[in-house]
Structure 1
Amino acid sequence: MMENHFTRTSSYERNGSSAYPVLSSQIPSWFEKESNDWDLRQFLGLLQRRALIIAGVATVVMSGVTYSTLQQKAVYESNFRLLVEPVNEEKSLVQLTIDPSGSEKAGNLDYESQIQVLKSPELMAGIVKQIRYYYPDLSYESLLKSLTIRRLGATKIIEVSYRSNDVTKIKLVLDVIAKSYLNYSLEKRQTKLRQGAQFVDKQLPGIKNRVDHLQKELQLFRQRYDFISPDAQASKVASQVNILSTQRLEIDQKLAVYRANFASLKEEQGELAALNSASVYQQLLVQLRQLEAQISGELARFQEDSPPLQVLKQKRENLLPLIRQEAQRIVGVKFAEIATQIQSLEVQSQELKKAEIQLDREIKLLPVLSRKYTELQRDLQIATESLNRFVITRETLQIQVAQTELPWELIQEAFKPESPISPNIPRSLGVGFIASLLLGVGISLLIEKVDNTYHTVSNLKENIKLPLLGILPFEKRVQNNLYQNIERRTFSEKIPFKFSRKFSKMSNTLHRSSASDRYYGQGKFWEALQVLYSNIQLLNSDQPIHSLIISSALPGDGKSTVSFQLAQIAAAMGKRVLLVDADLRRPQVHKLADLNNLWGLSSLISTNIPAGQVIRQMPEMNNLSVITSGPIPPDPARLLSSEKMKQLMGYFHRTFDLVIYDVPPIVGLVDARMLAPYTDGVVLVVRLDKTDKSGLMQAQDSLKISPVNVLGIVANGDKTKYKGYKHYYHPHG
């Protein structure tokens, strides 16, 4: 009778927990925050996952770039060049006109300022007026927008460029500008040079006075503070600090020694050490010992009151006060010597302290003096450089004014361009292609950051510090067969039937063409299940796993499928297996096993029906039994936490070699935590590309407060392509 089995208490009921308890303090190390460091392998995986997004973005962007490029009008450009300084200057003149800042620019002309003058409205007004005679729509702004004036490298040449859609307009505009610039050089340059010389002469006296004032102020600063430079002052202070530190250390060491000697003299051992080094005291002690020896010798011959003994004793009595006086004198001298040394060292220490205080003041004042010195040096340097520039500029201007003025020279005339400069179709398309790819990759990276799932097994292993028990590959054929199994409820086409035939009968009929192709097309999946089962059994070789819970963090991770397939694997390996559908909320096992769900676990808990009526053996697999969920109760948690459920679990564990419980997801539900303490552990199913990382963290928080032994995780839906795997499993390979 079923009742008899209930009366026996299982080991799970006695212990109240699993055989492999896990302390809650160990749980937090299971999960770690995901690292933000990306390596090449992760980046290539991202490109593979987001290939469609990258291709779509690149196609859209390239379409826009191509259309925009082909719609652009052809733009032409021409230029002319002006030599604005003579190239045959004398060497002495070149040396006078070198930039005092040390740059490599040579010559008398400030090119940046000159270019701004050439673009100024005052100079361009006449040019615009002449061009408007031929092109009335031209304005100063439109002319300047298409005009480029620049210095040609480090030469004395200015290049003027103009671009437009009309090649005739380009030639006309450049010819007018070239003629106007040449006239400007003849009319204005001499006047500009003279005005510049007058300005420099006016500024020089003030700059000289400032240089003299700063030099005098710097001299007074050095004399007042004996300050040569910040580095020299810092070295001087550092040297003084080292000397004082050394002296302080020596005095402190000597003080420590003398004070220790002074304290030692107050003790018996110290006095003995001082007396041992006193020669007079030692001589008196020798005499005392001799008298003692004589007295001992005479005692052997005479009586105590004999005259010789009385004489010797009298001598001893006379010698003892002398010894005591000598001892007191020696100790007193020692005390005086040590006290004198201590007093002398303390005086030296006071002097050192005063020196240290003075040095500390100098150290605190050093940053202020250094900053003041630096400011004076900087101001003096700036003033000196300014004076030098003005002096050199005055000499240069005087030479230029005195010598014969040479006008600008047109060394290259404007020409009509033949080929456009834009659009450059190959370059535009190339840049557009690169930009579109980068944009696609950027959008993919953004999507990847927003995506909160694990995509690869390696990423899962890095961030979840639990044993990886198995990796189940994603197989479309297996998934399609499972869906057909749920929809059709046809046992003849079920995956378990083919699987059981493979492991139980091993008949030659499997080598027929159609059946062989179906089986070996699923070779990776079945081998992965075998690896998963083996890893679970090897978790504890001393005490094999007899019961386990298979769950997941969130719905849809494939826990029911893994439970069902793992039960078949264990049964095919010769174990008596019971698969219990403990998901009383959304049961799936009865659909996978093609069984009706009229009664099941909920019926067994809530009624007194025998377990044999609920435990159903799978056809074609003698070792596999299934308990479906039964009718969905209004309060599943109450049933699973009942005493009846604990008794049933004990019965299941005693009756079968392996009991597998398919329970609801952990996040938000308490079902798994109610059953887990009475099993050997929990296996978490994680679906790659689907399971939410935050869901796993919530599952962690749920498991922290329960005495749950988490055996490991199963990575479900791995899409990694392993080279040569399919060929290895082909029956003819």
Structure 2
Amino acid sequence: MSLPQKVPNLRVVDREARLLGDRQQNPLRFNTTKRSRKGGLQAFGELCQRRWRLLSGTVLLSFLVMGGYVLWQPEMYEAYFRLLMEPVKEPQPAPTLTPRDGIAGTLPSPPPTTTPQVDLGSQILVLESDKVLAPIAQKLQQQYPHLTTRVLAEHLEIRPVVSSATEQLPTQTKVLEVAYRDRQPEIVTAVLKAVAEAFVDYSQRDRQEQLNRTLEQLDKDIQQHLKELEQLQQQLQGSQPQGTSLQPSEQLRFLTEQYRQIHSLRQAARLKAVEAYGRFQGLQEQLKMTPAEALAAANLSTSPAYQQQLARIQELDQEIAKNLAIFHEGTPVLQALEEQRRVLVEQLQAIASQVIGEQYQVDNPTGLGFQGTVSQTLITNYITAWIEYENQRRYDAELAAPQAAVAQQLQQLSSQLPAIDRLENQIRMANLSLEMLNQARQAVQLQLAQNNFAWQVLTDLENPAVQPTFPRLLLLVLGAIASLVLGVVAIYLADAAANTFVSPAQVEEALGLPLLGKIPKATPQTNLRLERVVKGNSGLWQVTQVLPAVGEWVKLQEAFHHVFANLQAVGLGHSLAVISALPTDGRTTVALNLALAAAGTGRRVLLIDGDLRRPQIHRYLGLTNEQGLADWLIHRRHWYSVAQARRGLAILTAGELRQQPMRLLSQDTIKQFMAHLKNYFDLVVVDTPPLTNFADAKLWSGLVDQTLVVVNLKAPQQPVRLALADYSLGSGSALGVVVNLA
């Protein structure tokens, strides 16, 4: 369960409103308001002030440990040299490539032949391996026996050197930096010289073997790629169509163009056929003839015998027409002419039958010959349109078969193209890989032929710059900073783990109430003289004499004078209840001494022991508790005893408990009693039970004008916060908090 940072039930708003009214009435009154939450720097300063012993002890102890370790350990020295692994070459222009034929022509242009870069990662691993370092260690052990291969590997560091002036990657550099660390500078120099000599020998001896192994592996890879390329080419030849020397892509383009040409010819023939058929239908509607009749009419118009016989019939018709104008029908002359015409018509039909024959089936071949010049022209156009239509239709039908054959070839070739494309791509990639392997082989052969370069040491190893890795002064400064950080962490952890309050400011911030005073630790002293106010045993006592305080008690009395002054400054009312969360907070001590401080100013003050369950004031002062507040709340006759109290401090003990305290404090009698006391006293101070045990303090808060919270600085935080968070001050307002330092 998380604890609240502030007590929400305390009526701070009412108190502030009262303070605002008091300031308006008396602007000279001391103004004490709730302290605002401190900033981070101020809070850190207070934390350091509270925990200065832990802070200083942690810082001092950690600095002594770190500083002692730095001073006890011998200083570590380091030096390095740089190694050039390849000669620096001028950039060369790329060679001009000639066009390639066949499948090789489809390959991308190969990159220019360059010397392969050194694999720095692998090279560094080889140089740090036992194979290279073991001979160096054996050589150095003659003078320095402790330098084993493991020691060299631990203290030796090899790293690439990258120029800051260029955007060069670490894998692109040709320079290595070899560093070594040891506690003796002369050992650093000796190891670097031996390592540099061994690395140069390694570059001359092992580089030749490495290039030979690389060349053998490249030869194996080239042979393997040649076999794979031969198999792919055989598969490609088997998948290509037979009877053609064209490539599949070229053949596809050829067949596609051929299909497009045939399709264009058929489209043109169909358009011409449609046009001719349109003319044919138009002329057919004019002539009212079938194509056979039109052909027959055309043949008859070109036959001389038919035309001569037709001319005789026309002349005879003219003669008959003349005689009809002279003779009546049926006369012998007209009958003879009609008979002659019939004979001529029969002869004409015989000639027409001979000219037309059985090729054209017509109903009236004789009538077809009687055509004028216009009709003959129309017949000629009619026959021409019909012949053109038939020719174009026949041409379209003839082209259908070749087009279907080309379409079938295209379909077969399209189904084979994906497999052919895959094979061609594989061949292309195989050729590219083979070409790259050949380039690599040429580069290795070139290195074998020109293997006259040994690694070069770029640093003067006769006088290497041996320097400490970390100066001791820098390490001491870092140790001091780390010690300070550890001290700050320690006080923060200690403050977070603390169960009790550590300062009055923390109490003020946790409760959200103004701090009205701090009560110092002091040894109790009995410096009061008391007597009964009235004869008998009514429980009301009068302080007749206050003996002078000595020693620590003087500071204690002065602290309560400050508390009372602050209470007046914030607007002290007629009655005040002193409350606390725990029994050991010093609540009774604060109530008694605060009442004495108020009486010292000349006021009439009454101190009531409101703890009816466990009264403490009579024990503290050595008084009897036979009668007191409990009897006064039952028998009102005692109330008039207060009139006999003199100026100063009067004390009303709790008395023996005869009824439940909750019942006594809940009746109207207690309210009437508190109102009665206002007529005789300037201030009434009530000592209440602790909040964690009983609910009496909640009832007292509704019977007084104001309350004062007392907190022991050594009290645990959680019970105090929980008790005050659950506490309701009723009609009274909390003026502030007093911190008991005892």
TM (norm. structure 2) is 0.51
1:273 aligns with: none
Work out which of the residue numbers 154, 159, 162 in structure 1 matches 2:180.
162
The structure 2 residue matched to 1:532, chosen from 557, 567, 571, is 567
Residue 549 (str. 1) matches residue 590 (str. 2): no
Q: CA deviation at 1:79?
A: 3.1
Does 2:737 correspond to 1:715? yes
Match of 2:200, SS state, is helix
Indicate whether 1:128 and 2:137 are aligned: yes
Q: Distance in 2 between matches of 1:546 and 1:450?
A: 42
Write the distance in 1 (CA, Å) between the matches of 2:206 and 2:697.
95
Partner of 1:347: none
Tell me, what secondary structure is at the counterpart of 2:702?
helix
Matched, 1:601 2:649: no
Q: Where does structure 2 lack aligned partners over 5 or more consecutive residues?
A: 1-6, 14-35, 96-114, 164-172, 230-430, 530-547
Q: Distance in 1 between matches of 2:619 and 2:129?
A: 87
Q: Sequence identity of aligned pairs in percent? A: 28
Counterpart for residue 327 of structure 2 = none
**Alignment deviations for residues 182-214 of structure 1 (CA, whole Å, 9 cap, x no partner):** 0111123355456567878959989xx9xxxxx
Structure 1 residues 126 and 26, CA gap change in structure 2 (3 angstroms): closer
Following TM superposition, by how much is the alpha carbon of 1:715 offset from its aligned partner in structure 2, in angstroms? Answer: 3.0
C-alpha distance in 2 between matches for 1:113 and 1:94: 29
Q: How does 1:395-434 map to 2 (within 5 A)?
A: 399=443, 402=446, 404-405=450-451, 406-414=453-461, 421=468, 424-434=471-481
Q: Of 190, 195, 202, which residue of structure 2 is paired with 1:177?
A: 195
Letter matched to residue 402 of structure 1 = L
Residues 1:685 and 1:713: Cα distance change in structure 2 (over 3 Å): farther
Give the Cα separation in 1 of the matches to 2:708 and 2:142: 90
Cα deviations by residue, 1:16-60 (Å, 9 ceiling, x for unpaired): xxxxxxxxx9839989xxx99972222222122111111011111
Q: Which residue of 2 aligns with 1:111?
A: 120
Structure 2 counterparts to residues 166-245 of structure 1, below 5 A: 166-192=184-210, 202=221
Aligned pair partner of 2:489 in 438, 442, 447: 442
- Which residue matches 2:591? 563
Amino acid at match of 1:189: R
Indicate how the Cα distance of structure 1 residues 26 and 55 shifts in structure 2: closer, same or farther if over 3 A, else same.
closer
Cα distance in 2 for partners of 1:445, 1:26 equals: 27
User: What per-residue deviation string (whole Å, max 9, x for no partner) do you get for residues 636-670 of structure 1?
Assistant: 76776688766754544554343221112212322
Whole-angstrom CA distance in 2 between matches of 1:551 and 1:394:
99
Q: Distance in 2 between matches of 1:64 and 1:388?
A: 67
| Aligned mates of 2:517, 2:435 — CA distance in 1 | 84
Correspondence 1:274-289 to 2 at 5 A: none
Q: What code does the residue aligned with 1:708 have?
A: G
The 3 A distance-change label for structure 1 pair 86 and 431 is same
Say which of 504, 513, 516 aligns to 1:472.
516
- Cα distance per residue 1:614-637 (max 9 Å; x no partner): 97999xx92432224467999876
2:683 is aligned to 658
Report the 3-state secondary structure (helix = DSSP H, G, I; strand = E; otherwise coil) of the residue aligned with 1:122: helix
Q: For 1:36 and 1:547, how far apart are their aligned partners in 2?
A: 31
Corresponding residue number in structure 2 for 1:27: 9
- 1:229-282 deviation digits (Å, cap 9, x = unpaired): xxxxxxxxxxxxxxxxxxxxxxxxxxxxxxxxxxxxxxxxxxxxxxxxxxxxxx
Kept in 1, the 8 Å contact 2:500–2:713? The answer is yes
Contact 2:708–2:738 (Cα < 8 Å) also in 1: no
8 A Cα contact 1:684 1:714, kept in partner: yes
Number of paired residues?
459
Structure 2 SS opposite 1:579: strand
Please, which moves more after superposition, 119-128 or 417-426?
Answer: 417-426
Shift, 1:563, TM fit: 2.7
Structure with the higher fraction of residues in helix conformation = 1
Whole-angstrom distance in 2 between the partners of 1:131 and 1:205: 49
Per the alignment, in what secondary structure is the counterpart of residue 582 of structure 2? coil
The yes-or-no answer on 1:676 pairing with 2:701 is: yes
What do residues 534-557 of structure 1 show as CA deviations (whole Å, max 9, x unaligned)? 4244xxxxxxx4333220122444
Return the offset for 1:119. Answer: 0.6
Please list every run of 5 or more consecutive structure 1 residues that lacks an aligned counterpart in the other structure.
1-24, 96-105, 210-386, 493-509, 538-544, 720-733
Superposed CA offset, 1:134-157 (max 9, x none): 445543222211222222343643
SS of 1:144's equivalent in the other structure is: helix
Indicate the residue corresponding to 1:143 in structure 2: 152
Amino acid paired to 1:146:
H
Question: Which amino acid is 2:527 matched to?
Answer: T
Contact 1:581 1:589 (C-alpha < 8 Å) held by counterparts: yes
Q: Distance in 1 between matches of 2:589 and 2:709?
A: 13
**For residues 689 and 713 of structure 1, what CA distance do their matches in structure 2 show?**
22
RMSD of aligned Cα (Å): 5.3
Which secondary structure does the structure 2 equivalent of 1:472 belong to?
strand
- The question of whether the paired residues in 2 share the 8 Å contact of 1:552 and 1:559 is answered with yes
Cα distance 1:650–1:136, how it changes in 2: closer, same or farther (>3 A)?
same
Q: Per the alignment, do residues 558 and 550 of structure 1 end up closer, same or farther by CA in structure 2, a change over 3 Å counting?
A: same
CA shift in 2, pair 1:419/1:113, >3 Å: closer
Instruction: Give the 3-state SS of the residue equivalent to 1:109 in structure 2.
Output: coil
Residue identity opposite 1:186 in structure 2 = Q
Pick closer, same or farther for the CA change 1:195–1:553 going to 2, 3 Å: farther
- Matched residue, 1:81: 82
Computing the radius of gyration over CA atoms, which structure comes out larger, 1 or 2?
A: 2
